[in-house]
Protein backbone atom coordinates (compact mmCIF):
# COMPACT_ATOMS: atom_id res chain seq x y z
CA UNK A 1 0.00 0.00 0.00
CA UNK A 2 1.29 3.45 -0.92
CA UNK A 3 2.21 5.70 1.98
CA UNK A 4 -0.13 8.52 0.90
CA UNK A 5 -3.09 6.17 0.60
CA UNK A 6 -2.32 4.69 4.02
CA UNK A 7 -2.50 8.11 5.69
CA UNK A 8 -5.79 8.93 3.92
CA UNK A 9 -7.31 5.72 5.29
CA UNK A 10 -6.02 6.44 8.80
CA UNK A 11 -7.41 9.98 8.61
CA UNK A 12 -10.84 8.74 7.53
CA UNK A 13 -10.91 6.07 10.24
CA UNK A 14 -10.01 8.61 12.92
CA UNK A 15 -12.98 10.71 11.84
CA UNK A 16 -15.33 7.74 12.06
CA UNK A 17 -14.04 6.77 15.52
CA UNK A 18 -14.44 10.33 16.77
CA UNK A 19 -18.00 10.36 15.45
CA UNK A 20 -18.87 7.09 17.20
CA UNK A 21 -17.39 8.37 20.47
CA UNK A 22 -19.46 11.56 20.34
CA UNK A 23 -22.59 9.62 19.45
CA UNK A 24 -22.15 7.41 22.51
CA UNK A 25 -21.87 10.38 24.88
CA UNK A 26 -24.44 12.75 23.41
CA UNK A 27 -27.59 12.94 21.30
CA UNK A 28 -27.40 12.92 17.51
CA UNK A 29 -28.31 16.60 17.11
CA UNK A 30 -25.74 17.58 19.72
CA UNK A 31 -23.10 15.52 17.96
CA UNK A 32 -23.62 17.17 14.58
CA UNK A 33 -23.83 20.65 16.14
CA UNK A 34 -20.48 20.05 17.83
CA UNK A 35 -18.92 18.71 14.63
CA UNK A 36 -20.12 21.75 12.68
CA UNK A 37 -18.66 24.07 15.29
CA UNK A 38 -15.31 22.28 15.12
CA UNK A 39 -15.39 22.39 11.32
CA UNK A 40 -15.89 26.16 11.35
CA UNK A 41 -13.13 26.75 13.89
CA UNK A 42 -10.48 24.34 12.58
CA UNK A 43 -11.08 24.24 8.83
CA UNK A 44 -12.46 27.69 8.03
CA UNK A 45 -11.63 30.38 10.61
CA UNK A 46 -8.16 28.90 11.10
CA UNK A 47 -7.50 29.43 7.40
CA UNK A 48 -8.60 32.50 5.48
CA UNK A 49 -12.38 32.49 5.88
CA UNK A 50 -12.98 35.78 7.68
CA UNK A 51 -16.49 36.78 6.64
CA UNK A 52 -18.58 36.43 9.80
CA UNK A 53 -21.81 35.84 7.86
CA UNK A 54 -20.20 32.97 5.94
CA UNK A 55 -18.76 31.43 9.11
CA UNK A 56 -22.12 31.68 10.89
CA UNK A 57 -23.88 30.13 7.91
CA UNK A 58 -21.44 27.21 7.66
CA UNK A 59 -22.13 26.58 11.34
CA UNK A 60 -25.88 26.35 10.71
CA UNK A 61 -26.39 24.32 7.53
CA UNK A 62 -26.76 20.58 8.34
CA UNK A 63 -24.24 19.21 5.84
CA UNK A 64 -24.83 15.65 7.06
CA UNK A 65 -28.39 15.77 5.68
CA UNK A 66 -27.07 16.38 2.15
CA UNK A 67 -25.04 13.16 2.00
CA UNK A 68 -25.99 9.49 2.23
CA UNK A 69 -26.34 7.84 5.63
CA UNK A 70 -23.14 5.86 5.08
CA UNK A 71 -21.18 9.13 4.75
CA UNK A 72 -22.81 11.13 7.52
CA UNK A 73 -20.05 10.37 10.00
CA UNK A 74 -17.63 12.10 7.60
CA UNK A 75 -19.89 15.01 6.66
CA UNK A 76 -17.84 17.62 8.55
CA UNK A 77 -14.39 16.33 7.64
CA UNK A 78 -11.96 18.36 5.55
CA UNK A 79 -12.52 16.66 2.18
CA UNK A 80 -15.21 16.20 -0.50
CA UNK A 81 -17.61 13.27 -0.36
CA UNK A 82 -19.26 11.24 -3.12
CA UNK A 83 -22.93 11.62 -3.95
CA UNK A 84 -24.96 9.96 -6.71
CA UNK A 85 -23.98 9.63 -10.37
CA UNK A 86 -20.25 10.05 -9.84
CA UNK A 87 -20.60 13.58 -8.46
CA UNK A 88 -19.31 15.03 -5.20
CA UNK A 89 -20.22 17.44 -2.44
CA UNK A 90 -17.33 19.88 -2.18
CA UNK A 91 -14.94 20.17 0.74
CA UNK A 92 -16.43 22.58 3.35
CA UNK A 93 -13.50 24.97 2.96
CA UNK A 94 -14.04 25.31 -0.79
CA UNK A 95 -17.76 25.93 -0.30
CA UNK A 96 -16.97 28.67 2.22
CA UNK A 97 -14.19 30.16 0.07
CA UNK A 98 -16.33 30.44 -3.06
CA UNK A 99 -19.22 31.85 -1.05
CA UNK A 100 -17.00 34.41 0.63
CA UNK A 101 -15.74 35.74 -2.70
CA UNK A 102 -19.32 36.31 -3.92
CA UNK A 103 -19.85 38.90 -1.14
CA UNK A 104 -23.60 38.38 -1.17
CA UNK A 105 -25.99 40.86 0.37
CA UNK A 106 -29.62 40.39 1.38
CA UNK A 107 -31.92 40.88 -1.56
CA UNK A 108 -29.30 40.04 -4.19
CA UNK A 109 -30.09 37.43 -6.82
CA UNK A 110 -27.65 34.53 -7.20
CA UNK A 111 -27.45 31.73 -9.79
CA UNK A 112 -25.73 28.41 -9.07
CA UNK A 113 -24.60 26.11 -11.89
CA UNK A 114 -24.41 22.53 -10.62
CA UNK A 115 -26.89 21.92 -7.80
CA UNK A 116 -25.47 18.52 -6.89
CA UNK A 117 -26.67 17.62 -3.40
CA UNK A 118 -28.16 21.07 -2.78
CA UNK A 119 -25.71 21.93 0.02
CA UNK A 120 -24.15 24.96 -1.67
CA UNK A 121 -27.62 26.30 -2.51
CA UNK A 122 -28.61 25.96 1.15
CA UNK A 123 -25.53 27.94 2.19
CA UNK A 124 -26.40 30.68 -0.30
CA UNK A 125 -29.99 30.74 0.96
CA UNK A 126 -28.81 31.92 4.39
CA UNK A 127 -27.21 34.97 2.77
CA UNK A 128 -29.91 36.02 0.30
CA UNK A 129 -33.53 35.13 -0.35
CA UNK A 130 -33.21 34.81 -4.14
CA UNK A 131 -31.34 31.62 -5.05
CA UNK A 132 -31.67 29.91 -8.44
CA UNK A 133 -29.86 26.63 -9.08
CA UNK A 134 -29.50 24.51 -12.23
CA UNK A 135 -28.58 20.83 -12.35
CA UNK A 136 -28.05 18.92 -15.61
CA UNK A 137 -28.76 15.49 -14.08
CA UNK A 138 -32.48 14.92 -13.60
CA UNK A 139 -32.17 12.57 -10.63
CA UNK A 140 -29.87 14.95 -8.76
CA UNK A 141 -32.12 17.94 -9.50
CA UNK A 142 -35.15 16.09 -8.16
CA UNK A 143 -33.40 14.79 -5.06
CA UNK A 144 -31.81 18.15 -4.22
CA UNK A 145 -35.20 19.84 -4.59
CA UNK A 146 -36.77 17.36 -2.21
CA UNK A 147 -33.98 17.78 0.34
CA UNK A 148 -34.14 21.57 0.21
CA UNK A 149 -37.91 21.54 0.53
CA UNK A 150 -37.78 19.12 3.46
CA UNK A 151 -35.34 21.43 5.24
CA UNK A 152 -37.53 24.50 4.53
CA UNK A 153 -35.17 26.25 2.15
CA UNK A 154 -38.19 27.73 0.41
CA UNK A 155 -36.25 30.57 -1.21
CA UNK A 156 -34.36 28.17 -3.49
CA UNK A 157 -35.60 27.38 -6.99
CA UNK A 158 -34.04 24.35 -8.73
CA UNK A 159 -34.26 23.54 -12.42
CA UNK A 160 -33.24 20.47 -14.43
CA UNK A 161 -31.35 21.90 -17.40
CA UNK A 162 -27.92 22.45 -18.92
CA UNK A 163 -26.43 25.23 -16.78
CA UNK A 164 -24.17 26.36 -19.63
CA UNK A 165 -27.03 28.54 -20.86
CA UNK A 166 -27.82 30.07 -17.48
CA UNK A 167 -31.39 31.02 -16.58
CA UNK A 168 -32.37 33.92 -18.80
CA UNK A 169 -35.89 34.14 -17.39
CA UNK A 170 -34.58 35.51 -14.08
CA UNK A 171 -31.50 37.37 -15.31
CA UNK A 172 -29.65 39.55 -14.63
CA UNK A 173 -27.95 38.10 -11.56
CA UNK A 174 -25.86 39.87 -8.95
CA UNK A 175 -23.69 36.78 -8.56
CA UNK A 176 -23.13 33.45 -10.32
CA UNK A 177 -21.34 30.46 -8.83
CA UNK A 178 -20.24 27.52 -11.00
CA UNK A 179 -19.53 24.34 -9.05
CA UNK A 180 -18.11 22.29 -11.94
CA UNK A 181 -14.96 22.73 -14.01
CA UNK A 182 -14.93 24.33 -17.44
CA UNK A 183 -12.11 25.17 -19.85
CA UNK A 184 -13.83 28.43 -20.77
CA UNK A 185 -16.39 30.85 -19.38
CA UNK A 186 -19.82 30.24 -20.96
CA UNK A 187 -20.81 33.52 -22.61
CA UNK A 188 -24.49 33.23 -21.57
CA UNK A 189 -23.38 33.45 -17.94
CA UNK A 190 -21.45 36.65 -18.59
CA UNK A 191 -24.41 38.04 -20.51
CA UNK A 192 -26.71 37.29 -17.56
CA UNK A 193 -24.39 38.87 -15.00
CA UNK A 194 -25.25 42.38 -13.83
CA UNK A 195 -22.84 45.24 -14.23
CA UNK A 196 -20.61 44.98 -11.17
CA UNK A 197 -21.73 41.38 -10.66
CA UNK A 198 -19.40 38.58 -9.52
CA UNK A 199 -18.93 35.18 -11.16
CA UNK A 200 -16.77 32.47 -9.60
CA UNK A 201 -15.76 29.36 -11.54
CA UNK A 202 -13.11 26.58 -11.54
CA UNK A 203 -11.41 27.41 -14.83
CA UNK A 204 -8.86 25.32 -16.71
CA UNK A 205 -8.32 21.74 -17.80
CA UNK A 206 -11.37 19.60 -17.03
CA UNK A 207 -9.15 16.50 -16.87
CA UNK A 208 -6.68 17.61 -14.23
CA UNK A 209 -6.62 20.74 -12.07
CA UNK A 210 -8.23 24.15 -12.42
CA UNK A 211 -7.77 27.65 -11.09
CA UNK A 212 -10.59 29.03 -8.99
CA UNK A 213 -11.30 32.27 -10.82
CA UNK A 214 -13.32 35.33 -9.83
CA UNK A 215 -14.73 37.45 -12.64
CA UNK A 216 -16.23 40.87 -12.00
CA UNK A 217 -18.22 42.49 -14.79
CA UNK A 218 -16.83 45.99 -15.21
CA UNK A 219 -18.13 48.24 -18.00
CA UNK A 220 -19.43 45.11 -19.72
CA UNK A 221 -16.02 43.40 -19.66
CA UNK A 222 -14.69 40.60 -17.42
CA UNK A 223 -12.14 41.64 -14.81
CA UNK A 224 -10.32 38.46 -13.77
CA UNK A 225 -8.75 37.46 -10.46
CA UNK A 226 -7.09 34.06 -9.93
CA UNK A 227 -7.61 32.68 -6.42
CA UNK A 228 -6.17 29.19 -5.96
CA UNK A 229 -5.71 25.77 -7.49
CA UNK A 230 -8.70 23.41 -7.19
CA UNK A 231 -10.06 20.20 -8.63
CA UNK A 232 -13.73 19.86 -9.58
CA UNK A 233 -15.78 17.38 -11.59
CA UNK A 234 -16.18 18.62 -15.19
CA UNK A 235 -19.13 20.58 -16.55
CA UNK A 236 -21.01 18.33 -18.98
CA UNK A 237 -23.57 19.05 -21.68
CA UNK A 238 -22.78 21.95 -24.01
CA UNK A 239 -19.46 22.71 -22.31
CA UNK A 240 -18.28 19.14 -22.85
CA UNK A 241 -19.38 19.19 -26.52
CA UNK A 242 -17.46 22.38 -27.18
CA UNK A 243 -14.39 21.02 -25.43
CA UNK A 244 -14.43 17.90 -27.61
CA UNK A 245 -14.82 19.96 -30.78
CA UNK A 246 -11.92 22.18 -29.73
CA UNK A 247 -9.66 19.20 -29.09
CA UNK A 248 -10.71 17.49 -32.34
CA UNK A 249 -9.86 20.62 -34.31
CA UNK A 250 -6.40 20.76 -32.77
CA UNK A 251 -7.17 23.40 -30.16
CA UNK A 252 -5.80 23.26 -26.65
CA UNK A 253 -7.72 22.91 -23.39
CA UNK A 254 -7.36 26.53 -22.37
CA UNK A 255 -9.38 29.43 -20.96
CA UNK A 256 -11.45 31.43 -23.43
CA UNK A 257 -14.84 33.02 -23.79
CA UNK A 258 -17.18 31.55 -26.39
CA UNK A 259 -20.60 32.27 -27.82
CA UNK A 260 -23.49 29.84 -27.53
CA UNK A 261 -26.99 29.17 -28.94
CA UNK A 262 -30.21 30.04 -27.18
CA UNK A 263 -31.52 27.88 -24.36
CA UNK A 264 -34.35 25.41 -24.94
CA UNK A 265 -36.08 24.89 -21.61
CA UNK A 266 -36.99 21.42 -20.39
CA UNK A 267 -38.78 20.19 -17.31
CA UNK A 268 -38.21 22.09 -14.07
CA UNK A 269 -38.13 20.98 -10.44
CA UNK A 270 -38.99 23.97 -8.32
CA UNK A 271 -38.85 24.34 -4.57
CA UNK A 272 -41.85 26.45 -3.51
CA UNK A 273 -41.06 29.00 -6.19
CA UNK A 274 -42.64 32.38 -5.47
pLDDT of residue 131: 98
CATH 3.40.50.150 fits domain 80-258:
yes
pLDDT of residue 265: 32
Mean pLDDT of 62-74: 97
Does 18 have pLDDT greater than 70? no
* Selection from 218, 212, 171, 182 nearest residue 197 by Cα: 218
Q: CB–CB of 183/211 below 8 Å? A: no
| Cα gap 235→232, rounded to integer Å | 9
Q: CB–CB of 178/201 below 8 Å? A: yes
| Cα gap 7→22, rounded to integer Å | 23
| % of the chain with per-residue pLDDT over 70 | 81
pLDDT, tens digit, 9 for 90 and up, residues 84-139: 998 999 999 999 999 999 999 999 999 999 999 999 999 999 999 999 999 999 99
**Residues acting as catalytic residues:** 90
On whether the pTM is more than 0.85, the answer is: no
Mean pLDDT of 231-244: 88
In SS3 terms, 152-164 reads as: CCCCEEEEECCHH
Sorted by where each begins, the domain ranges of the chain are 80-258
Amino acid sequence: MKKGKFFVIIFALSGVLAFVYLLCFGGEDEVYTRLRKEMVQRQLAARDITDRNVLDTMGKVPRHLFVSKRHRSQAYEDYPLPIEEGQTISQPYIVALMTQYLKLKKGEKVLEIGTGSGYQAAVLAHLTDKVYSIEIRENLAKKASETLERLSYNQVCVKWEDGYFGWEEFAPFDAIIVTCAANHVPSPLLDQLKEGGRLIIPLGSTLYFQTLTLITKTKGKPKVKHISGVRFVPMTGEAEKRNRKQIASGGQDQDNIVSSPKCNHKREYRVNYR
